[in-house]
């Protein structure tokens, strides 16, 4: 286990417009705002298409599945980290029957909008926090 205390420098709010690729927009926002390390606190909105990946086995490294569809969904949750300027985002989407989600991939496009809150941790170091470690 690794534990680190960090102070939040600021909160950055990102509004993504209809049709925009959500991951590309987040990457642009992180670059423009100079966020090196931070946390995607949450987000909401809707999507017209989605593409994400999920783990599909118990091995390290795990096999992965890459669901993709052109279908409207509500964005019910966003989370993730910004590590050394790299966006590692997770999304939870729903329709009227089920929820789904995983690690955000290119191709998830906003329908009405997406609003995402990012806590900027300044110079905090999270190197290797999103990599698998041997069991």
| Position 2 in a domain | no
Q: Is 130 contained in some domain?
A: no
State pTM to two decimals.
0.90
Q: Which domain holds residue 39?
A: 10-120
Task: Give the residue, 19 or 133, on which the prediction is more confident.
Answer: 19
Over residues 9-30, mean pLDDT: 98
Total domain count, the chain: 1
How does the average pLDDT of the chain come out, rounded?
93
Tell me if 127 is assigned to some domain.
no
Look at 74 and 130; give whichever has higher pLDDT: 74
Domain-embedded: residue 84: yes
Q: Find the CATH number of the domain harbouring 21.
A: 3.30.1330.80
Does residue 80 lie in a domain region?
yes
Residue 135 is assigned to a structural domain of this protein = no
Query: Which CA distances in Å does 33 have to 1, 29, 47, 94, 119?
Result: 31, 6, 24, 30, 12
pLDDT digits (tens, 9 = 90+) for 56-109: 999 988 999 999 999 999 999 999 999 999 999 999 999 999 999 999 999 999
The answer, yes or no, to whether residue 134 has pLDDT greater than 60, is no
């Amino acid at each position: 286990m690794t534990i680190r205390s960090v102070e939040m420098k600021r909160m950055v709010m990102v509004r993504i417009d209809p049709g925009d690729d959500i991951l590309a927009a987040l990457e642009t926002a992180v670059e423009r705002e100079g966020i090196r390390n931070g946390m995607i606190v949450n987000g909401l909105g809707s999507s017209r298409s989605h593409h994400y990946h999920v783990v599909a086995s118990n091995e390290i490294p795990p096999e992965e599945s890459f669901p993709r569809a052109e279908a409207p969904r509500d964005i019910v949750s966003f989370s993730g980290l910004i590590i050394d300027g790299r966006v590692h985002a997770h999304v939870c989407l729903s329709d009227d029957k089920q929820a789904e989600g995983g690690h955000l991939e290119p191709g998830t496009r906003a329908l009405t909008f997406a609003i995402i809150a990012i806590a900027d941790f300044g110079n905090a170091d999270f190197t290797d926090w999103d990599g698998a470690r041997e069991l």
